[in-house]
Structure 1
Amino acid sequence: MIRATLTMQVKAGREQDFEQAWKVVAGHTRRIPGNIRQTLLRDPTNQLVFVITSDWESLGAFQRFERSPEQDMLTAPLRELRESAQMTVHHLIVHIEKDGNS
């Protein structure tokens, strides 16, 4: 499994717009083959910083989406609302739940 992590600083005053736009993007992205889940996080000390995590079945599935015209179209509203962005991609090795399941 692959986890892409995108850290973004949103334009001041556009935080609610960003959250709403992300929900729309996530609603479409969840239908993309290979997508497993997406999460939106917000920095507790800097309200302009958001982190998006997106889990994918494989690096290939993620790259196909990331390089597609559909991705450009879907994420355009998010790009309009941000000041900066940085992405990292990692293989998810182990995920342990509270009850011990992985």
Structure 2
Amino acid sequence: MTGENAAPARVRVVRLLHVRAGREADFVESYQGVLERAVRSPGHLREQLCRSVDDPGQWLLTSEWESFEAIKRWRSDPDHAALVEPMNACLHDDRWTGVFEIMPEGPRARKPRRG
């Protein structure tokens, strides 16, 4: 991931989910339970849940972590599988998860001044 002397890179976990029809409220409720635990997990920075406006059954879940090691600790916690099971029970099997290293931001373009 990063160079030997560099600080660990932050990572973003991206999950593309397909919630079963009629299970949306259960999904959101069970996600809230997972979120309550995740925010107390060392290295967790932020989380966002989004629902597609084009396909209400499609959801996007992202979380940001201080390092890849932090997300590995969260996933290997002995209680993790039981914690996420109610949420996963609301999903179709066609879900996708990816873990991405967050790259350093380049210089931001200056906004034009208003005259």
Q: Mark yes or no: TM-score above 0.5.
A: yes
Deviation at 1:68, TM superposition (A): 2.4
Q: CA RMSD in A?
A: 1.7
Give unpaired runs (5+ residues) of structure 2: 1-9, 111-115
In structure 1, what is the equivalent of residue 72 of structure 2? Answer: 63
What is the distance in 1 between the residues matched to 2:29 and 2:105?
28
Q: How far apart, in 1, do the equivalents of 2:20 and 2:45 lie?
A: 29
- TM-score, normalised to structure 2, is 0.77
Unaligned runs of 5+ in 1: none
Decide which structure has the larger Cα Rg and report it. 2
Matched length: 97
SS at match of 1:81: coil
TM-score, length of structure 1 as denominator length: 0.86
- Separation in structure 2 between the aligned mates of residue 63 and residue 72 of structure 1, nearest angstrom: 13
Q: Which has the higher helix share?
A: 1
| Offset at residue 95 of structure 1 (A) | 6.1
What SS does structure 2 have at the residue aligned with 1:37? Answer: strand
* Distance in 2 separating the partners of 1:31 and 1:73: 17
Of the structure 1 ranges 29-38 and 64-73, higher mean CA displacement relative to structure 2 is found in 64-73
2:97 to 87, 90, 93: 87
1:65 counterpart letter in structure 2 = W
Residue in 1 aligned with 2:83?
A: 74
Residues 5-26 of structure 1: CA distance to partner in whole angstroms, max 9, x if unpaired?
A: 0111011111121112111210
- Check 1:77–1:95 CA distance in 2 against 1; reply closer, same or farther (3 A cut): farther
- In the alignment, the residues of structure 2 paired with residue 69 and residue 42 of structure 1 have an alpha-carbon distance, to the nearest angstrom, of 29
Task: Render the CA deviation track for 1:37-66: whole Å, top value 9, x for unaligned.
Answer: 111011111111111101100001101111
**Identical amino acids, percent of aligned pairs:** 27
Question: Which residue, 24, 34, 53 being the options, matches 1:25?
Answer: 34
